[in-house]
Homo-oligomer: A and B are copies of this chain.
Amino acid sequence: MVAVKSSEKSPERNRTHVVTIYDIAKRAGVSPATVSRVLNGYPDVSLKTRAKVQKITQELGYQPSAMARGLATKRSMTIGAFVKVGPDDGLRHPVFQEVLTAFQHVVGEKGYDVLFFSQNGPALQREGYEAVARYRNVDGLLVLGMPRTDPGVIALSTCGIPCMSIDLDLIGPRAGYVTSDNVGGAIQAVEFLVQHGHRAIAFIGDKFATKPGHDRLIGFQRAVQEFRLPFRPDWVLDGDFTEIGGYQAVSRLLEMSELPTAIFCASDLMAIGAMRAIRDRGLRVGEDISVIGFDDIRPASMVTPGLTTIRQRSEELGRRAAQALLRMIEEPTALPSVITVATELVVRETVRPVVPRG
C-alpha cells in the first residue's frame, strides 16, 4: 500500500524526476505560464499569486533548466571562446590569462558564463569554428590569439554572431577587435633605447603570422626611419615568440661579426631567452648589451636584472573586449568597435646607456 501510494498519489516525488514549472503550477493551482512569469520577474502577476508561487518554488527546490530556457528563448547566456592552443599560447600565455580573467569578470557580472571550445574535438575538426559556435548557441564570441592564417577563423567575422577578437583584426558587421597599440609600443621601445644612446638595434620577432608580431615589426621599422638609425636586415630575426626561440635567435645574432648594442624583443618570453643567450655567451645584459621586451608578463619582474619592457594593459584589453561584446549582444543595432589601448613603458634594469666599444 505504501508503495502504491508513493508511486500513484505523488508522482512528482518519483525517483529522480526533476521538478518543473508544471509541478509548481499544479501545486500552486495556477498555470505554468504564470509560474514562468513570476520566475522571470514579470510585473503582471498579483502579489498573492506571486508570493504563493515563490514559496512553492522554494519548497520544491526547483531548478530552472538553461537548455529548455535557451531553446525557447534563443539566448544561452553563454559566451564562446576560441583561444589559441600551443606550447606557449592559450591558457598558458600570461597575457591571455590576464585578458581572460578580466573578460570573464565583466561578462560574469551580467550573468554570462564562458564556454571554452575544445579545439581538438571531433566536431570542430569536421565542421569548423562557426558550426561549433552555432551548435552551442552562444550569444557572443571571444577570439583570442588565433592565427589569421586560418580561414575558418576569418569566417567568424561574418557569421553574424557578435564577436570580439584580441590580437587579430577580425572586423565585420557584428565583429570588432581590441588590440594594444603595438606599433606605438614598438616605437616607444626604440625611442627609449635611442635616448640611451643606442643606434645599433636588433629586432627579434616572429614569422609575422600574428598581428602583434607584424605590428611590432612595423613599429620598429618606422622608428628606425624616424630616428634615422642604420637598418640591418640581418639584425631582424625570428624568435617565434617563445623563450627558446629568443634564445636561439640571439645566439645566432651574437655570432655575427658586428654586434648591436641593444636588442628589442617583440615579447618578454623571447627577451628572457635573449638574456640567457647573452649570459651564456659571457656577456652581461645591460652593461654589454641592452635588452627591452614587450608585454610585461609576471616573470619580467622576477628575472635579474629586471627586464625593461613595454607593458600591455592586458586587464584593460579583456575588459574593453567584454564591454564591447556585451554592447553588441544587448543592442542589435550597435556597431562593432575597434579599440586600441595604449602601451606603457616600464623601466627596470636591462637597458643602460651605451658605452663606446673598445
A residues 96-146 in Cβ contact with B at 8 Å: 97-98, 100-101, 104-105, 107-123, 131, 134-137
Complex Cα distance, B304 from A135, in Å, reads 49
Q: Are A109 and B120 in contact (CB under 8 A)?
A: yes
For A135, what are the chain B residues with a Cβ–Cβ distance below 8 Å?
A: 63-66
Nearest to A81 among chain B residues (CB) is B116
Complex Cα distance, B123 from A272, in Å, reads 43
For A117, what are the chain B residues with a Cβ–Cβ distance below 8 Å?
A: 113
Q: Are A116 and B90 in contact (CB under 8 A)?
A: no
Complex Cα distance, B80 from A115, in Å, reads 9
Q: Is A71 positioned at the interface, with any CB of B under 8 Å from its CB?
A: yes
Q: Is A342 positioned at the interface, with any CB of B under 8 Å from its CB?
A: no
A105 to chain B, nearest CB (A): 6
Complex Cα distance, B88 from A98, in Å, reads 11
Q: Is A68 positioned at the interface, with any CB of B under 8 Å from its CB?
A: yes
Q: Is A221 positioned at the interface, with any CB of B under 8 Å from its CB?
A: no
For A68, what are the chain B residues with a Cβ–Cβ distance below 8 Å?
A: 67, 71
Q: Are A113 and B115 in contact (CB under 8 A)?
A: yes
Complex Cα distance, B271 from A218, in Å, reads 39
A147 to chain B, nearest CB (A): 18
Q: Mark A65-104, 1 if CB is under 8 A from B, else 0.
A: 1111011000010100000010000111000011011001
Complex Cα distance, B138 from A115, in Å, reads 12
Complex Cα distance, B305 from A296, in Å, reads 21
Nearest to A70 among chain B residues (CB) is B67
A256 to chain B, nearest CB (A): 26
Q: Is A303 positioned at the interface, with any CB of B under 8 Å from its CB?
A: yes
For A90, what are the chain B residues with a Cβ–Cβ distance below 8 Å?
A: 101
Task: Using A116-B116, A302-B303 as known contacts, say yes or no to A111 and B122 having CB atoms under 8 A apart.
Answer: yes
Q: Is A5 positioned at the interface, with any CB of B under 8 Å from its CB?
A: no
A13 to chain B, nearest CB (A): 16
Nearest to A101 among chain B residues (CB) is B91
CB < 8 Å: which of B70, B112, B119, B304 contacts A118?
B112
For A64, what are the chain B residues with a Cβ–Cβ distance below 8 Å?
A: 135
Q: Are B118 and A114 in contact (CB under 8 A)?
A: yes
Q: Are B104 and A98 in contact (CB under 8 A)?
A: no
Q: Is A299 positioned at the interface, with any CB of B under 8 Å from its CB?
A: yes
Nearest to A80 among chain B residues (CB) is B113
A65 to chain B, nearest CB (A): 6
Nearest to A112 among chain B residues (CB) is B118
A-B contact pairs, 14 of them (CB 8 A): A63-B131, A67-B68, A78-B115, A90-B101, A91-B101, A91-B104, A92-B97, A97-B97, A104-B116, A105-B120, A112-B121, A115-B115, A116-B116, A298-B299
By a beta-carbon cutoff of 8 Å, the part of chain A in contact with chain B is 63-68, 70-71, 76, 78, 85, 90-92, 97-98, 100-101, 104-105, 107-123, 131, 134-137, 243, 272, 298-299, 302-304
Counting from the closest, the 8 A-B pairs by CB-CB distance are A108-B118, A299-B299, A67-B70, A67-B71, A108-B120, A91-B97, A63-B134, A67-B67
Supplied contacts A91-B97, A272-B302, 14 more A-B pairs, CB within 8 Å: A65-B137, A91-B91, A104-B118, A108-B120, A109-B121, A111-B121, A113-B115, A113-B121, A114-B118, A299-B299, A299-B303, A302-B302, A303-B303, A304-B304
